[in-house]
Amino acid sequence: ARNLTRLCHAGITIALGTDGNTPYAAHVEIEDMVAAGMSPMGAIVAATANSARFLGMDDAGVLAAGMSADFIVLDANPLDNITNTRLIRDVYLRGEHVDR
């Protein structure tokens, strides 16, 4: 946590990375990022745009024209409480709704 805080304050780009084997591993990692001092928005950007860029995925990571349009719809704002990323209402892949 101390290192993450130092890296963020130094302006280093942070990306989400986990080798967890549980469905909520990414959510836990994002929550840990916020607990370490990142803003909720910073943790979300690390998990989306920064991770896609790190992996060389030029058409993913942000919602914009020409992008893949993979996203989730939440029941509550994660900027108010980062644990709200777990409250997934809908999933879209390449702009198409996924019937979960």
The dihedral through the CA atoms of 33, 39, 93, 69 has a sign that is negative
What does each of the 100 residues of the chain score in pLDDT, given as a tens digit? Answer: 888 889 988 999 999 987 766 777 889 999 999 999 999 999 999 999 999 999 999 999 998 998 888 999 999 999 999 999 999 999 999 999 999 8
| Predicted TM-score (pTM) of this structure | 0.88
Distance CA 60, CA 94 (A): 10
The whole-number pLDDT of residue 17 equals: 80
Neighbours of 35 (CB within 10 A): 12
Distance CA 45, CA 13 (A): 10
The whole-number pLDDT of residue 9 equals: 86
Whether 63 and 95 have beta carbons less than 8 Å apart is answered as no
